[in-house]
Structure 1
Amino acid sequence: MSFQAYLDKIEDKTGKTPRALVDEAKSRGYDAQDVKAGVICDWLKADYDLGRGHAMALVHVIKNGPRISDKHVGTKGTHADPTNMLWLDGKATNPLTA
């Protein structure tokens, strides 16, 4: 599954855009570099019933922003993403898929 697909599934499951969840995480102080991924995963599990894989995708965005590695950009595998910038404002408004 591509990184963007993980974020789209998170939106389906929670009803919130990835940006809304990142903003919520920031309001809780979870964007601080010393906050462990497990703390964020526990919150996402408790409040949104997200599994570890989906939670870790969101952890990356919370901690590092929407830029991902170029490693999978332009590849044809399961994990291929069309760009190294993730869309956080809801899948319905993503210009790459709309």
Structure 2
Amino acid sequence: MSFQAYLDTIETKTGKTPRELLAEAAVKGFDAETKAAVVVEWLRDDYGLGRGHAMAFFHVLKNGPTISDKHVGTSGTHSDPSTELHLDGIAARSVDRA
């Protein structure tokens, strides 16, 4: 599953875009210094997310919307089209393509 696919699935499961979840995390006082386990527990307890999805979100919380180019442009399972992740949601991305 690509990194963006993880974020898209999080949106589908929670009903919130990654950017909305980042805002919620900020209200809770979570930031780049927060331990992963705390974020994983919050997303599990409040949204029923598993560890893999929670860790994908944690990466964005800690590092922002940029990912390594390790899998960009590859044909593997984890291939992403860009190093920039879309945080404004699936619908916003659909509008951008129109």
Please confirm whether the aligned pair reaches a TM-score higher than 0.5, indicating the same fold. yes
| Number of residue pairs matched by the alignment | 97
Alignment of 1:1-98 (within 5 A): 1-33=1-33, 35-94=34-93
What is the alpha-carbon distance in structure 1 between the residues aligned to residue 32 and residue 89 of structure 2?
24
What is the alpha-carbon distance in structure 2 between the residues aligned to residue 9 and residue 32 of structure 1?
22
Cα contact 1:68–1:85 (8 A) shared by 2: yes
SS at match of 1:71: coil
What is the alpha-carbon distance in structure 2 between the residues aligned to residue 38 and residue 14 of structure 1?
19
What is the alpha-carbon distance in structure 2 between the residues aligned to residue 3 and residue 83 of structure 1?
10
- Relative to structure 1, is the Cα distance of residues 71 and 24 closer, same or farther in structure 2, using a 3 angstrom cutoff? same
1:29-67 Cα distance to aligned partner (Å, 9 max, x none): 21141x210000000001000000000000000111000
* Letter of the structure 1 residue corresponding to residue 63 of structure 2: N
Identity of aligned residues (%): 65
* Letter of the structure 2 residue corresponding to residue 12 of structure 1: T
* Structure 1, gaps ≥5 residues long: none
User: RMSD in angstroms over aligned alpha carbons?
Assistant: 1.4
Larger displacement relative to structure 2 (16-25 or 88-97): 88-97
1:52-85 Cα distance to aligned partner (Å, 9 max, x none): 0000000000111000000011101110000000
Cα contact 1:26–1:62 (8 A) shared by 2: no
Which consecutive aligned stretches of 4+ in structure 1 deviate over 2 angstroms post-superposition? 95-98
* Structure 2, gaps ≥5 residues long: none
